[in-house]
Amino acid sequence: MNLKLLNPSSWQEYELIDSGDFEKLERFGKFALIRPEPQAIWNKSLPEDEWKQTAQAKFVREQKDKFRFSDDVKGGWSRSKGMPESWQINYQYNGLNLTLRLALTGFGHVGIFPEQGNNWNFIFDTIKSWPLDKPRILNLFAYTGAASVVAKIAGANVTHVDASRPGINWANQNMQLNHQQDIRWVYEDALKFVKREVKRGNRYNGIIMDPPPYGRGPDGEKWTLQEKLGELIELTSQLLIKKDCFFILSMYAVGLSSLVGLNVVKDHFNQNTPEFGEFFLKSKQGKDLPMGTFLRFRT
């Protein structure tokens, strides 16, 4: 067993300042934000007044169940004077210089998941180490495209698949911010796309996926992680080239162990020792925040 805890230690422009009472206080570049966090069931370490004085914006989510987020979001942002709707943040690692656009969205997101920094490092190092010219990378449920841009900067041909047109537009902006071009944008349900790629006989050197706990595709396709993950992993196992390859699975469903991803991957990939475990964000106050699970391997 190769269980790990991953902390994205390369960040200079992000920090988790504090968490507790179902909230988290984070700094993204110049701005500090308060957002809901269902796993922060402990007490805050810093006084409430210090949270209020530190933050430039706060997202309030109006729902009865504090332990789970539904897809029916009610609430919104309150902002102090001078807090912009959007801004940029920088991430640097071992020759990777990444600029990303952030914004206050209606869902309380800002456009990145900071804990993914460790996976960005993994993607960048792996592609750079291959003796290949323009390896093919597939990014499923690709959101605002940070991983897609990292793979492109490293020298890959990238296919970016997402069922949100605003998300793809945002990813395109991130590509342009980093002076890249020719990422292939695919606006489609990820499972449908993968099924067609298998029939076409297409293959990829790297597959990245970050499936949501639930969601809907462009045509109303229903997605539930527990129902569809096995089928998705089986199909992607047919798309992955067997040598000079990598595979990354991230999951954010509260309550799902990293062993779930491990066991499903073992069903379909010949991998005895993948890295797997839990993402976390290290807190200045000593109460580190769990942020989902991961599994990855490379050959």
In the prediction, which pLDDT does 65 show?
52
Taking the complete model, does pTM exceed 0.85, yes or no?
yes
**CATH H-level, domain 87-298: superfamily:** Vaccinia Virus protein VP39 (3.40.50.150)
Low-confidence ranges of the chain (pLDDT < 70): 1-4, 6, 63-74
pLDDT tens figures, 232-252? 999 999 999 999 999 999 998
Query: CA-CA distances (angstroms) from residue 43 to 22, 57, 273?
Result: 9, 21, 37
* Cα atoms found within 13 Å of the Cα of residue 261, Cβ hemisphere only: 27
Among 230, 271, 237, CA closest to 251: 230
In the prediction, which pLDDT does 67 show?
47
| Domain boundaries for CATH 2.60.40.1180 within the chain | 12-83
| Domain boundaries for CATH 3.40.50.150 within the chain | 87-298
According to CATH, the topology of domain 12-83 is Immunoglobulin-like (2.60.40)
